[in-house]
Amino acid sequence: MSPEMNRREFVQHSVVASAGAALAMTASSVPQAARADDTVGAGPAPPAATDAMPVGKIGKLEISRLLLGGNLLTHYTHSRDLQYVYSLAKHYNTDEKILETLALAEENGINTLVVHNVRSTMKLLRKHRDDGGKMQWITCTFHALAGGDLTKFGREIEQLVDDGTDAVYVSGVEADTLCGFTNPIAAANSAERVSPPKLELLAQAVDLAKAHGLPTGLGAHRLGAIVDCEKAGIDVDFYLKTMHHHQYPTATLQHDSSFCPEPEKVVEFMATVKKPWIAFKVMAAGAIPPENAFAYALNGGADFVLAGMFDFEIAQDAQIVRRLLPQVKRNRAWFA
């Protein structure tokens, strides 16, 4: 290997050489761009851009079009069958690195984080804010509703309000489960309903959260959960829905490799939904390059894109979103 070629570039060139055709977009011809400028340990990250990050609104919250995903900060990674990646993320994202990441995101115009209720992480978020940080938090409970425990869900919501969260949502695991979608998300039959929906419990949970005066959303991996919510008239303020195409080599691996079973149907149905939509898992947990992924989600109708980012990826991803937004061509109106 040439000394000029770092590890990330080596991996990128190897993947492109063997699977470039599979990564090509379908009819939409969305541009593709890998993180070509990322070099681990090869110097400082690109400087923060001087032009402002575009924003939208959910309730009274003004939110950047690119949001910071919290999985990497809570050390949770989707990594197919690579068992070491979870430990690697934990060793890299120390408490100090997480605080640096939050500050760097703010410098690049990202003003909102989406995160699960992990106590150690929430304490760091509180410290960041106490030290002058302005990052907003959209937080969900840790899957209490998946077990049908509305009381525990309520206690966690109260805890999050006390912590200072700016918005809450029913997690995708909880919403999928209550709507009867419990097959593994990466399985070929993941979009099939397995059991009758429990929409009354879901509605109670949403009302309970909204009673605290915070914007309240619903997350979903399966489109059917949002369809159920819309048909039942459950009064959520916004949605988080997985959104990625399947044009990458491991899309059919059926092992922690695919998170949006029916992207074309998502585009079609969400065009009828008149509430803000945050698209997540847009890069299929790192399988799709960011420019390709962000463009697909925005052109498909998402109002915001949520991306898990290590600190050295933030500046470039923010630049990509600022560059893409003026070029977006979509059928769905902006609802945020």
What confidence score (pLDDT) does residue 76 get?
Answer: 85
Q: Output the 3-class SS for the chain.
A: CCCCCCHHHHHHHHHHHHHCHHHCCCCCCCCCCCCCCCCCCCCCCCCCCCCCCCEEEECCEEEECEEEECCCCCCCCCCCCCCHHHHHHHHHCCHHHHHHHHHHHHHCCCCEEEEECCHHHHHHHHHHHHCCCCCEEEEECCCHHHHCCHHHHHHHHHHHHHHCCCEEEECHHHHHHHCCCCCCCCCCCCCCCCCCCCHHHHHHHHHHHHCCCCCEEEEECCHHHHHHHHHHCCCCCEEEEECCCCCCCCCCCCCCCCCCCCHHHHHHHHCCCCCCEEEECCCCCCCCCHHHHHHHHHHCCCCEEEECCCHHHHHHHHHHHHHHHHHCCCCCCCCC
- Residue by residue, pLDDT tens for the chain (336 residues) are 444 344 334 334 333 333 333 333 333 333 343 343 343 333 444 445 558 999 999 999 999 999 999 999 988 889 998 989 989 999 999 999 999 999 999 999 999 999 999 999 999 999 999 999 999 999 999 899 999 999 999 999 999 999 999 999 999 999 999 999 999 999 999 999 999 999 999 999 999 999 999 999 999 999 999 999 999 999 999 999 999 999 999 999 999 999 999 999 999 999 999 999 999 999 999 999 999 999 999 999 999 999 999 999 999 999 999 999 999 999 999 999
CA distance 110 to 65: 8
Q: How many domains does the chain have?
A: 1
pLDDT score for 75: 86
How many whole angstroms from its chain centre is CA 124? 20
What is the predicted pLDDT for the residue at 46? 45
pLDDT at res. 50: 54
According to the model, what pLDDT value does residue 49 have?
A: 52
In a domain, 92, yes or no: yes
Q: Establish if 4 belongs to a structural domain.
A: no
In a domain, 18, yes or no: no
Of the candidates 141, 139, 204, the residue with the CA atom closest to the CA atom of residue 168: 139
CA angle, residues 112, 117, 122, in degrees to nearest 5: 65
Question: What is the domain range of residue 57?
Answer: 28-327
Report yes or no on 221 lying in a domain: yes
Q: Is residue 87 part of a domain?
A: yes
User: β-pairing, 61-64 with 55-58?
Assistant: antiparallel
Q: CATH code at 192? A: 3.20.20.100
Task: Please tell me the predicted confidence (pLDDT) of residue 51.
Answer: 80
Cα 183 to its chain centre, rounded Å, is: 21
pTM summary value? 0.86
20 occurs within a structural domain: no
Contacts from 190-197 at CB under 8 Å and sequence distance 24+? 190/221, 190/222, 190/258, 190/261, 191/222, 191/223, 191/224, 191/261, 191/262, 193/224, 197/228
Residue 238, in any domain of the structure: yes
According to the model, what pLDDT value does residue 10 have?
Answer: 36
Contacts of 124 (CB under 8 A, 6+ apart): 73, 95, 98, 99
Q: Does residue 19 lie in a domain region?
A: no
